[in-house]
Chain A
Amino acid sequence: MHYVVRRLLTLLLTVLFVLLLTFAAFRIIPGNPALAILGTEATEAQIELLEAKLGTNRPLAEQFTDWLAAAFRLDFGESLRFDEPVTRLIGSRLPVTVSLAAMALGITVSFGIPLGVLAAGARGKAADLLVSIGTQLGLAIPSFWMGILLILVFGLALKWFAVSTFTPWSENFWLAFKSLLLPAVALAVPQIAIVVRYLRNSLLEQLGQDYVRTARSKGLRESAVLFRHVLKNALLPVMTILGINFGEVLAGSLVIEQVFTLPGIGTLLITAIGNRDYPLVQGLVAFIAFTVIAINFAVDLSYRWLDPKIRLR
Chain B
Amino acid sequence: MGMTEEAAIGADTPLLDIRDLRIQFRRGSGPPLPVLDGVSLTVNRGETVGIVGESGSGKSVLSLSILGLLPGGMHIGGGEIWYDGRHPLHRMSGREIRALRGKEIAMIFQDPMSSLNPGLAVGDQVTETLRLHLGYSRREAKEHAIRLLRKVGLPRPESLFGEYPHQLSGGMRQRVMIAIAVSCNPGLLIADEPTTALDVTIQAQILDLMRTIREEDGTSILLISHDISVIADMCDRVLVMYAGQILESGTIDDVFERPLHPYTAGLLRSIPTPAKKNSPLDSIEGRVPAPHERSAGCPFASRCPHAVERCRTEMPELVAYRGNHAARCFLAETEGAHRHAAV
Residues in A lying within 8 Å of B, measured CB to CB? 209-211, 213-221, 228-229, 232-233, 236, 307-309, 312
Inter-chain contact B128/A233, CB cutoff 8 Å: no
Complex Cα distance, B180 from A219, in Å, reads: 12
Most buried by A among B100, B102, B167: B102
Complex Cα distance, B189 from A37, in Å, reads: 83
Chain B residues near A215 (CB-CB < 8 A): 117, 128
What is the distance, in angstroms, from A210's C-beta to the closest C-beta of chain B? 4
Inter-chain contact A312/B164, CB cutoff 8 Å: yes
B18 part of interface (Cβ distance < 8 Å): no
Most buried by B among A211, A213, A220, A236: A211
Instruction: Choose from B103, B111, B166 the contact partner of A219 (Cβ within 8 Å).
Output: B103
Chain A residues near B284 (CB-CB < 8 A): none
Chain A residues near B109 (CB-CB < 8 A): 210, 213-214
Known: A214-B116, A229-B120, A309-B164. 20 other contacts (CB 8 A): A210-B109, A210-B115, A211-B115, A211-B118, A213-B115, A214-B115, A215-B128, A217-B67, A219-B99, A219-B100, A219-B102, A229-B117, A232-B119, A233-B118, A233-B119, A236-B119, A308-B118, A309-B166, A312-B166, A312-B167
Chain A residues near B98 (CB-CB < 8 A): 219-221
Inter-chain contact A217/B101, CB cutoff 8 Å: yes
Residue on B with the closest CB to A306?
B119
Complex Cα distance, B177 from A209, in Å, reads: 16
Chain B residues near A221 (CB-CB < 8 A): 98
Complex Cα distance, B107 from A214, in Å, reads: 8
Query: Sorted from nearest, which 3 A-B pairs have the closest CB atoms?
Result: A219-B101, A218-B102, A210-B114
* Contact digits for B206-237, partner A, Cβ 8 Å, 1 yes 0 no: 00000000000000000000000000000000
- Counting residue pairs across A and B whose Cβ atoms lie within 8 Å, the total is 71
Inter-chain contact A308/B116, CB cutoff 8 Å: no
Chain A residues near B103 (CB-CB < 8 A): 219
Inter-chain contact A211/B116, CB cutoff 8 Å: yes
Inter-chain contact A211/B166, CB cutoff 8 Å: no
8 A-B residue contacts at CB 8 Å? A210-B115, A213-B69, A214-B107, A215-B117, A218-B132, A219-B132, A220-B128, A312-B166
Complex Cα distance, B119 from A209, in Å, reads: 12
User: Known contacts being A217-B102, A219-B132, A219-B133, is A309 close to B120, with CB within 8 Å?
Assistant: no
Inter-chain contact A220/B132, CB cutoff 8 Å: yes
Residue on A with the closest CB to B105?
A217
B246 part of interface (Cβ distance < 8 Å): no
Complex Cα distance, B119 from A307, in Å, reads: 7
B57 part of interface (Cβ distance < 8 Å): no
Task: Say whether chain B's binding surface is mostly helix, strand, loop, or mixed.
Answer: mixed
Complex Cα distance, B107 from A308, in Å, reads: 26
Chain A residues near B166 (CB-CB < 8 A): 308-309, 312
* Contact digits for B115-151, partner A, Cβ 8 Å, 1 yes 0 no: 1111110000000110011000000000000000000
Inter-chain contact B101/A209, CB cutoff 8 Å: no
What is the distance, in angstroms, from B269's C-beta to the closest C-beta of chain A? 33
Most buried by A among B69, B106, B109, B115: B115
Inter-chain contact A308/B119, CB cutoff 8 Å: yes
What is the distance, in angstroms, from B93's C-beta to the closest C-beta of chain A? 12
Interface residues of B in 86-112 (CB under 8 A from A): 98-103, 106-107, 109, 111
Inter-chain contact B117/A211, CB cutoff 8 Å: yes
Chain A residues near B114 (CB-CB < 8 A): 209-211
Inter-chain contact B164/A233, CB cutoff 8 Å: no
What is the distance, in angstroms, from B181's C-beta to the closest C-beta of chain A? 9
Chain B residues near A228 (CB-CB < 8 A): 128
Chain A residues near B69 (CB-CB < 8 A): 213, 216-217
Interface residues of B in 170-191 (CB under 8 A from A): 177, 180
Complex Cα distance, B133 from A232, in Å, reads: 23
Inter-chain contact A233/B117, CB cutoff 8 Å: yes
Complex Cα distance, B102 from A293, in Å, reads: 48
Chain A residues near B167 (CB-CB < 8 A): 312
Residue on A with the closest CB to B71?
A213
Complex Cα distance, B180 from A217, in Å, reads: 11
Chain A residues near B177 (CB-CB < 8 A): 214
Chain A residues near B99 (CB-CB < 8 A): 219
Residue on A with the closest CB to B133?
A219
Complex Cα distance, B109 from A213, in Å, reads: 9
Residue on A with the closest CB to B129?
A218
Most buried by B among A220, A308, A312: A308
Chain A residues near B128 (CB-CB < 8 A): 215, 218, 220, 228
Chain B residues near A217 (CB-CB < 8 A): 67, 69, 101-102, 106-107
What is the distance, in angstroms, from A83's C-beta to the closest C-beta of chain B? 55
Complex Cα distance, B67 from A209, in Å, reads: 18
What is the distance, in angstroms, from A43's C-beta to the closest C-beta of chain B? 69
Complex Cα distance, B118 from A236, in Å, reads: 13
Chain B residues near A218 (CB-CB < 8 A): 101-102, 128-129, 132, 180
Complex Cα distance, B128 from A292, in Å, reads: 41
What is the distance, in angstroms, from A104's C-beta to the closest C-beta of chain B? 28
Residue on A with the closest CB to B180?
A218
Complex Cα distance, B98 from A213, in Å, reads: 13
Chain B residues near A312 (CB-CB < 8 A): 163-164, 166-167
User: Known contacts being A213-B109, A216-B69, is A309 close to B118, with CB within 8 Å?
Assistant: yes
What is the distance, in angstroms, from A229's C-beta to the closest C-beta of chain B? 5
Chain B residues near A213 (CB-CB < 8 A): 69, 109, 115
What is the distance, in angstroms, from A234's C-beta to the closest C-beta of chain B? 10
Chain B residues near A236 (CB-CB < 8 A): 119
Chain B residues near A233 (CB-CB < 8 A): 117-119
Chain A residues near B116 (CB-CB < 8 A): 211, 214
What is the distance, in angstroms, from A219's C-beta to the closest C-beta of chain B? 4
Chain A residues near B132 (CB-CB < 8 A): 218-220
Most buried by B among A210, A228, A229, A307: A210
Chain A residues near B120 (CB-CB < 8 A): 229, 232
Chain B residues near A209 (CB-CB < 8 A): 114
